[in-house]
Amino acid sequence: MEKLSVILSRKQSSFHHISSSCAVSDAISKMRCQNIDYLVVMDDNNQFAGLISDHEITEKAMMANKPLNKTMVCDVMNNSLPHADATDTIECCMKMMQRHHTRFVPVFEDFNFIGVISSEDILQEAVYNRLEIFDV
């Protein structure tokens, strides 16, 4: 089975990020403009701090009637996601997603953040591998 590093190598090399001190309204604007459903949250030292997705915004800000322009990303981001190593297999990552009921898993290599694997990435990988099988 493929390693997570293979999926990350097929994705664009940069990732969409936001500072933990930004307002949630800024995160929503950025996500909307870039047509994405999550952002990587970086702390003041430019280190991985967590993720903010449409789910966190809805659950922790909108449902709590918090003003989006005054609520900070650090107040609603998810910083307790399971994480994977670049050498982990896709199967291992899928099981982790199921066990923790998440759509996103941050990936690290030698304690350095290198990207995020989403359930959509795994689906695309499955389609890619299936096409290779049927193209023979």
Distance CA(107)–CA(115), nearest Å, equals 5
- pLDDT surpasses 70 at 6: yes
| DSSP reduced 3-state for 99 | helix
* 135: confidence class by pLDDT, cuts 50, 70, 90: low
**pLDDT per residue over 95-133, tens digit each?**
999 999 999 999 999 999 999 999 999 998 888 777 554
pLDDT of residue 24: 97
pTM for this predicted structure:
0.85
Select from 8, 3, 2, 82 the least CA-distant residue to 50: 82
Residue ranges per structural domain of the chain: 4-134
Lowest mean pLDDT among 23-27, 48-52, 59-63, 127-131: 127-131
Select from 128, 124, 86 the least CA-distant residue to 105: 86
pLDDT of residue 84: 97
- Fold of the CATH domain 4-134: CBS-domain (3.10.580)
57-61 contacts at long range (C-beta below 8 A, 24 or more positions apart): 57/24, 57/27, 57/28, 61/24
pLDDT of residue 130: 73
**pLDDT per residue over 53-103, tens digit each?**
999 999 998 888 899 999 999 999 999 999 999 999 999 999 999 999 999
